[in-house]
């Protein structure tokens, strides 16, 4: 390992409108939707903490009080669980965020796009490389989590890093798409990145997923980016400018990603996580047998 600055801070943009999940997300933030018994945001925070993050920065809207409440201590609930002798559940509630990890909040007044949401964290991040995690991309890994894998790549090279996976060519218009070239040891460096290209114009079928390690230079680039695809200020457009001066890796992570901002991805994640849970697995398998062919 070389002496690159550690990745200590992670930005969680959670100020989006979650329109694909309405009406459920009319009053509940998309990131608070649970997969089995944990909200999406907590899976992403757990992944960040595993990767060594000690400062969690939520970019939130005025309507997302539920996220603040989830990560705030709740001594009344803990006392009740203690009195009921339910120590295991009390500890789970107590340890939602480890003591050495701090949380910060910044408001994005208007959902102007992911790029704008990241820019809102500028002051809290300061002048150091940082991570961005989109909680609706849930990534299940059997070994190290996706962000931990990316932090290792960063420490090996000093380069920022973006999580990617192969997607069906017909779906390029739903993703940021990168083209890559390999270095001498087979690492994929990003040559170009475009937001939501048509299948005909896409440079590849490598889609960007919601995990990034970025240098602080991204903030000044975000300031000058104009609204792009969908009328939003796109992080992708600032990354394209960053690539003119800074190398960025494309990391094809080990693991399975679920797009939990879509109903299909959310349901698949629920089934897979339930099948992994010893208390739920057998019952779920029996139930699937009974509904098969209905
Ligand atoms: P998405 O585009 O997937 O989220 O943004 P969305 O806009 O909430 O959902 P749909 O498409 O309308 O269903 C990816 C992430 O960026 C955050 C979202 O909360 C989500 O975690 N985001 C997006 C912001 O924080 N601010 C924005 O202005 C836009």
**Does residue 68 lie in a domain region?**
yes
pLDDT for the residue numbered 2: 61
CATH of the domain at 239: 3.90.550.10
Q: Where are the beta strands (DSSP E) in 24-159?
A: 34-35, 38-39, 55-60, 102-107, 130-133, 137-140
Quick one: the chain helix, strand, coil %, rounded to 5?
40, 25, 35
CA 292 to ligand 1 center in whole angstroms = 35
Residues in the chain: 294
Q: Which atom of ligand 1 is nearest to the CA of 136?
A: 21
Q: Which atom of ligand 1 is nearest to the CA of 12?
A: 21
Q: Which strand (E) or helix (H) includes residue 118?
A: helix 114-119
CA 144 to ligand 1 center in whole angstroms = 26
**Does residue 141 lie in a domain region?**
yes
CA 113 to ligand 1 center in whole angstroms = 7
Q: Given a cut of 70, is residue 64 above it in pLDDT?
A: no
**Does residue 167 lie in a domain region?**
yes
**Does residue 4 lie in a domain region?**
no
**Does residue 19 lie in a domain region?**
yes
Domain region containing 270: 9-291
**Does residue 3 lie in a domain region?**
no
- For the chain, how many structural domains are there in total? 1
What tens digit of pLDDT does each residue of 112-133 get?
A: 999 999 999 999 999 999 999 9
- 255 Cβ contact partners less than 8 Å away, ≥ 6 residues apart: 139, 140, 141, 142, 145, 146
CA 17 to ligand 1 center in whole angstroms = 6
CA 22 to ligand 1 center in whole angstroms = 13
Q: Which pTM was predicted?
A: 0.94
Q: CB within 6 Å of ligand 1 — which residues? A: 13-21, 30, 59, 108, 111-114, 116-117, 134-136, 261
Q: Given a cut of 80, is residue 62 above it in pLDDT?
A: no
Minimum mean pLDDT among 22-26, 62-66, 157-161, 243-247: which range? Answer: 62-66
């Amino acid at each position: 390992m070389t002496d690159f600055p550690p990745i200590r801070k992670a930005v969680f943009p959670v100020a989006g409108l979650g329109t694909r999940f309405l009406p459920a997300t009319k009053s509940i933030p998309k990131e608070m939707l649970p997969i089995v018994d944990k909200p999406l945001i907590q899976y992403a925070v757990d992944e960040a903490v595993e990767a060594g993050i000690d400062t969690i920065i939520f970019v939130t809207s005025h309507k997302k009080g539920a996220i603040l409440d989830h990560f705030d201590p709740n001594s009344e609930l803990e006392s009740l669980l203690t009195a009921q002798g339910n120590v295991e559940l009390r500890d789970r509630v107590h340890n939602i965020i480890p003591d050495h990890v701090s949380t910060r909040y910044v408001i994005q007044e208007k959902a102007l796009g992911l790029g704008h949401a990241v820019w809102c964290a500028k002051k809290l991040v300061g002048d150091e490389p940082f991570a961005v995690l989109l909680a609706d991309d849930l990534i299940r890994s059997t070994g190290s989590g996706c962000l931990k894998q990316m932090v290792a790549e960063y420490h090996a090279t000093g380069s920022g890093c973006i999580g990617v996976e192969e997607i069906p060519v017909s779906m390029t218009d739903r993703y940021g798409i990168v083209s890559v070239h390999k270095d001498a040891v087979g690492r994929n460096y990003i040559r170009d990145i475009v937001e939501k290209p048509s299948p005909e114009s896409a440079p590849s079928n490598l889609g960007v997923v919601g995990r990034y390690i970025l240098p602080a230079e991204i903030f000044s680039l975000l300031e000058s980016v104009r609204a792009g695809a969908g009328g939003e200020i796109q992080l992708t457009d600032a990354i394209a400018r960053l690539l003119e001066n800074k190398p960025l890796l494309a990391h094809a992570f080990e693991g399975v990603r679920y797009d939990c901002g879509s109903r299909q991805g959310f349901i698949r994640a629920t089934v897979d996580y339930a099948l992994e849970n010893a208390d739920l697995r057998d019952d779920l398998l029996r139930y699937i047998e009974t509904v098969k062919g209905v």
